[in-house]
Structure 1
Amino acid sequence: MIQPPAIPEIIQLIPLKSYLILSTALFVIGIIGVLTRRNAIVIFMSVELMLNSVNLLLIAFSSYRSDPTGQVFVFFIMAVAAAEVAVGLAIIVMIYRNTRTIDINFLKKLKG
């Protein structure tokens, strides 16, 4: 009976170039979202998309080099992203309570 290959073997069957293309596409989508959107929550999600594209690339390089260092970096990036989500959403909620909008252009008027 033929058994399916183990997970590391499956990952190595996909060329590294595919991971680079996917990660680059996700990062570019995140940059476009940050630069073109006016909604603070969409901008926040675009930043998270960029962080996840970097995480994907670190995992791909880590598995191809058989070095767990990239996976350790991903763990720390995810911990920082979780803290960012907590603080960022709290700030967005407070801005919404005070201004009744989360439009970035309206927030520029608050500079004084």
Structure 2
Amino acid sequence: MIILTHYLLVSAGLFSIGIYVVLSKQNAIQVLIGIEMMLNAAILNMVAFGKFDKINNAGQTFALFAIVLAAASTAVALAIVLNVYRRHQTIDPGKINQLKD
């Protein structure tokens, strides 16, 4: 039987990997992937706590809203990355030092 601690350990590992990816990568797309991993860890926590809460399904409801918001924010972030690449010919956040020319 899988207990709540197992879910929380997997979520903590996923969140730690996401933080490592965000802090260590120089590519904007990889940074976005790391942020998505951290969001998925938070969603896993919501679903796990919702599963073990026998009164209501608030965890699953919040997780559904979080998934929708994560998808929308990812679409906006990818559009921004594409526009930055079109203008500066790089997606390395360290090489882009100005927003206006």
Taking structure 2 as the reference length, what is the TM-score of the superposition?
Answer: 0.92
Could you tell me which of 58, 76, 96 is aligned with 1:87? Answer: 76
- Of 42-51 and 61-70, more deviation after overlay is shown by 61-70
Q: Which has the larger radius of gyration?
A: 1
Q: Match for 1:65: what amino acid?
A: D
What is the aligned residue count?
99
C-alpha separation between the residues in 1 aligned to 2:87 and 2:99?
A: 14
- Identity over aligned residues, as a percent? 39
Could you tell me which of 31, 39, 44 is aligned with 2:32? Answer: 44
The aligned residue for residue 103 of structure 1 is: 92
Q: Match for 1:82: what amino acid?
A: A
Taking structure 1 as the reference length, what is the TM-score of the superposition?
Answer: 0.84
Once the 2 structures are TM-superposed, how far is the Cα of residue 85 of structure 1 from its aligned partner? 1.2
Cα shift readout 1:7-55 (whole Å, capped 9, x = no counterpart): xxxxxx2011111110000001111111111100000010000000111
C-alpha separation between the residues in 2 aligned to 1:87 and 1:48?
A: 13
Once the 2 structures are TM-superposed, how far is the Cα of residue 86 of structure 1 from its aligned partner? 1.2
Matches within 5 A, 1:1-80: 13-66=1-54, 67-80=56-69
> Structure 2: 5+ residue runs without aligned partners?
none
Larger helix proportion of the pair: 1
